[in-house]
Structures are given as structure tokens and as C-alpha cells.
Structure 1
């Protein structure tokens, strides 16, 4: 019985480059039946994996309608992935024997399964990662391009963006550090979005504090609470913001406004309720002020 060819690849490109086409044509010359197993990442529509299974399936079918296209989700370990691959092939095409083909940076070194593998020499200098990067800012005027953008947006999971806010307390004067942005008159706590370089939320809080308030030294951070922020930018979106609120004590330093804060000042803590009533605290940070006052009421001496 002639073996069925199996190509294990991702094909994460907007088109089949010369190397892809050479691979498919070369294997087609030797095998009447070809199965393409497409790796499916657990996270959708990322820079490394921008195309979902159905998009890549249609691209391959347009090149060769007789291809059998199968999805294979990524797994935590090579062993589990290899067993899943073997089971997928045996279930889909029972009783057949297979030879698994790969090319540059292929699956061959990771595969721990039962079937024969063959790594083919690279026939082109094209690289899918380079192509994706080169085309990252390539905007087309076509309707299909706009439909593709909409497809990604409509089929992406709703996102929850993590942020941090920090209440710095000056015990000497019983005040809290707050700031204002140039385009908003209300007072707010220093804070901002977490960054992918932050190792923990505390790191994000200290980074944001330094960026917005300069070189101030503080004591340990203490958790006050967390809540979903009623941010006007996301009010009509499915994406939302969740902030983690910390409190700390000033040790030394004179705050200087930086980043997107136009000014900073020390506000008496006992004035916060009246500032909320007078709408001098931005709407999004009113719940944080209330959490701070409750926290200080529950922890009057130490925090």
C-alpha cells in the first residue's frame, strides 16, 4: 500500500510563497493523497498566529482542491502533541500508512509518534515571520481587505485590560497624592496600564508611579481592592478595564508630574468626600476614593 503523504505545517502567511508552492508540488508528484495538518494555537489572532484554521484552509484549497486539511491544536508537551497527531490521522484515515513531511524549522525534532518522518531541504529563502512583519502596515483599499479586518475583530475574544492605581499617603499631613491630566480637570490617582515587561502587579504600580510622579520613595505596597473601571473609552465596547488598587506610604521625595499627568498635588484625605460631591474627582476614580476611605477606616493605625 502506498503511503499517504502528511505535511505538518502552520502556513501562517497571507499567501503561499515560492517555498510553500515548491513543497506542495514536489510532494504531489509522489503522492496522490496528501493530508495537510495545520497547527492551531490556543490564542487566536496574534502576531505569531494571525490566521485561523479556516482562513488557512481556504488558502490551501484554492491552490490544490484535492488536499485534505485537518486542524491539530497545540499541546503542552511534544509527547501529548505526537499522540494527538497519530490519533487524528488514524481516526480520519483508518487503515492507511503515513509518511510525515516537514521542511525548515519543522516538527521533525519534536515528533515522538509512530510514523515515518522526512525533512525536506528548504527550496526558498522566504520566511513566514519576515513576510508577516513586512506586511504589518500594508493597508489595501479593497473590500476583501476591510472584510478581513472585520472578520478578525468580530471573531476575537473580548479582552480585559489590567491596570493599576496607587494611593500614596503622606502620614505627616494626612494627605494623598493625586494628579490631573491636561485635558481633564478632575483629580485622579497615579496609575496606568500594566506592561508585558512587568513581572507582577506591584512592579506595574511602582513603574507607573515613577513615570507619573518622579523620584519618590515609598514603603511597601498594600492591596486595597480591585474593580472594573467604567472608562468612557470602553463604555460601548465589549473590551473592559480592570484595575488593581494599592496603597503605600511616602518615605521621601518631592513628586513631579510626568508622563500623561500635567500636575500633581497632595489632597487632604478628609476632603475626598466633598471633592466627590463637587465632582472634582474624575468619575472613573470615585469608586477608588471610596475604597481608600473604607480601607483607612478599617485600618486606622497600620496598613
Structure 2
């Protein structure tokens, strides 16, 4: 079994490497196909009204005159040596800016994940224990509504109401941990609305299994069956998909952070795309793809472990 696990992990690592190579190469290709020349954008930002000779000199200085594969090869070589270059917009080291911004995004996503788990577990378990069908239908209706509303629209409405109309939260300068709660809620609404009906269905399925019938005959209460049998079995099947959703939440945070003016990873990406800051853009694409891929690998490993456990059982 250990050998099978090592082979499985090795295969996933190979997939991770090829995924990162493909995504980063695609980033270079899209930058090349863009109508905005990064050398021109940099020259205008530094000089103001540059001549064609000055732009060409900057293009050669930055290496943008080289073929695409040569630029990509140099970038990969520097990446292997932990050198991501310097930002063209502010002159900061790329590693420094990412190390400052990325933890903020991880904090938001972590809070969003906690919010989702608490909401999913509490609402699903309460709905399961209630003997009436109307509350369960109401929960499913609200979940459909939560899935249907885009996160960026929800964040805009949330900010307009609580910040502009009620002045309960700040519109700008959100750098404290408490300020991460609002974007975390906006990010977590979709996942909470998506997985709550799934867990409710899984609990209902477990309650109709043969072991549940025999457990009731032995006198076990519904609450004990829920906590000790139904919930662990039902949740186990949803864990891999939930881990994948964390990776999607990281991507979703890129837009939400801009709306709430939080200087996180997503806020960084938006600003540097507008500035045509190629060293920062390539690094940000790499780390975002790495985070999403790692979440998917974790989900696959959990799924594989669950499958092995069921196979052994």
C-alpha cells in the first residue's frame, strides 16, 4: 500500500509540474498577443512621452525583444533559482510583494472556508432533525438563490449597504483581520449554498440505509445516529469536492479583494495587469495556479484515501 501511495503522489507531482508549465507558458503567450506593449507602457510610466528609440532601448534592456520561448526559458531558469525579478511598476522585489500580499488572501479564503463549514454543518443538521418539510424546502430555495447570485455582485451590494448607506464598515484601508470578515462572507456564500443541499441529501441517504434501520431498532436516537453515523459518512464523500472549491475561492478572491480595497494577492493582480507589469503578472499567475493545483491534488489524495479505505473495508 505504501508503494501504491508513493506512485500516486509521484504521478500527481508530475501532473503538477506539467500544469504549471502549461499555465505559465500560456501567460507568456497571452502577454505577447496583447495589443499593449509592456515596453511602451513602462517607457511612458518612466519617461512620460518617450521616443521610438527610447522604447526600443527599453525593450532590449528588459529582454522583450527576444523570442517568446527564450523569454520563457529565462524566466523558468530564474524561477528555479528563486529569482522572480523586479516589478516594473514600483521597483520592488517580486518575492517581497507576493510574500506581503498572499497571506492576506489566504486569510480571507481561510475565513470563508470556516464560514462555509459552520453554515453547511449547522443548517444541514438542523434541517435533517426537523420533522417538517417546509423548512427544508425553504433552505433549498435560499441555497438556489445563493448559488445564483455572483460573488462580485453580492460584494458590491454588501459594500454599498453596509459601508455607503449604513457606514458600518470602511470602504478603503482594510488591512485588519476584522475587515477580512466581509469579503470572506461574500466569497463563502456560494460554497455554503452549493454544499448545504448536497449534505442534506447525503444525510437523508444515510438515514435510509439498512444499518440505520437496525440502529433505530436498538433504541439509538436520531441525534446520536446523526452525530455518530450519518454525518461522518455523509461528510466524507463531500470533503474532496470541498477542497477543490477552496482553490476556486482563491481565484474568486482576486475580484472580491479589489471591491473591498484589500491589498491582497487579487488586488495585486488587478493593479499589475493594468500597469502591464510583466514580471509581477507571470509570478502571480504561477502562484495562483500553484495554489489551485495543490488544492486539487489534496482533494485527489483524500478521494484516493477514501477509496482505499472503502476497498479495504
Q: Under TM normalisation by the shorter chain, which class is it?
A: under 0.3
Structure number with greater Rg is 1
Normalising by structure 1, what TM-score? 0.23
Greater fraction strand: 1
Normalising by structure 2, what TM-score? 0.23
